[in-house]
Amino acid sequence: MATAYAHTADDFASGTRAALIGGTTTILDFATQDKGMTLSEALDSWHKLANGCSSCNYGFHMAITDWNEETRREMTLMKENGITSFKVYMAYDALKCSDREIFEIMSEAEKIGGLVSAHCENGDLVNALVQKQKDSGCLTPAAHPLSRPDFVESEAVGRFLTIAEAAGAPAYVVHLSSRRGLEVCLAARARGQKLFIETCPQYMVLDDSCYRLAGFESAKYVFAPPARKQRDIRAITEAVADGTVETIGSDHCSFNMNGGAAGGKEAGLNDFSLIPNGIPGVETRPALMQTIACEQKIGPGHLNRILSENAARIFGMYPRKGCIAEGSDADLVIWDQDHRGVISAAAQTQKVDYNPYEGKKIKGRAETVILNGEIAVSGGKIVLGNSGKYVFRHESGR
């Protein structure tokens, strides 16, 4: 995966090894259609990236960036290939779709039993606020959260859900970060609207003080939406604990601080708007959530639902995935709840030169991981790699 100026540090080989050793047996990556590309071309490209080098099972969401009649026709073809979830962006000029395009995409997805998720930020407003920071001479990473405040998210969440209502389609809000955004979701649910909410560990662990670090260190925390305030952390964490938020993603998008020829965070050393957005997280997601579960008194059943079962149900993998039953895939994680550790970039499998949770104490780890009936991780170490299989999925959001 890449931006216009930097490539991610992880590829399928390193990223899926990191997922597996952390206790994730299936990932859903974003296969992204570039402008001028067909969905089939994007899918072929992602299959080539993943085939034969994935250490956990994998599937794809299809990110639509170029909406036209050919793309519309190909959505049915995607379903025939086991892809029933689609993503749209409401920010990033090279990726975003207009409101009308999102409406038409959601309408088409509803016809084929698909589910559309959205990166919910008001892209035009982000662009204006970025320019405002730059015009005032604010060029460091400290300007990043100021250019993407909570109302930029909540406005886009509301607009996305309004579009979904117009299309008569379910909606999936990815990486929800703010109390204001959550309130918009709750209001839609109170009206009877069908929507699913995802958040990520960073929105329960990191706050906006990370943007006040000395020098360029805060660039490590440039991701979107950004880390929020303590009130947002409390609201999101409570919503996870009470089941309002159904799933925990990682939004894994790792860029090295010093990327060399491939580019990295240092691209924005003199201009925060050029820092690639994203942080690593696929390896630490389960352990961070186990740690949060201990703090919030979340039981193992609920933790399993938000880490595994709910996603399997929502994205058309259940009961093949997400449960232990006759006929289900033998993807199992034996979790050592007594393990105590400290997150460290030096000890990680992710192929990136830092970890945003450096020094954080964690509770628990994946002691043994069984993938497709075979032991793939034992004693916290990979003993079987590159054995992941493509997961064909059925209707999503149903």
Q: How confident is the model at residue 6 (pLDDT cuts 50, 70, 90)?
A: low
Per-residue pLDDT at 3? 39
Q: Of 33, 57, 19, nearest to 392 (Cα)?
A: 57
Predicted pLDDT at 261 = 72
pTM of the model: 0.96
Where along the chain do its domains lie? 12-382
pLDDT (tens digit per residue) in 206-245 = 999 999 999 999 999 999 999 999 999 999 999 999 999 9
Q: Exposed, middle or buried, 69 (CB in 10 Å: 0-12/13-18/19+)?
A: exposed
The predicted model gives 255-282 an average pLDDT of 93
Distance CA 230, CA 20 (A): 31
Q: What is the CATH number of domain 12-382?
A: 3.20.20.140
**131-185 per-position pLDDT tens digit:** 999 999 999 999 999 999 999 999 999 999 999 999 999 999 999 999 999 999 9
Q: Would you state the pLDDT for residue 1?
A: 36
Q: What is the four-CA torsion angle of 71, 75, 77, 79, rounded to 10 degrees? A: 160
Radius of gyration of the chain from Cα atoms? 20
Hey, what are 145's tokens? 């959260």
- Using DSSP, state whether 315 is helix, strand or coil: coil
Chain-wide mean pLDDT for the chain? 96
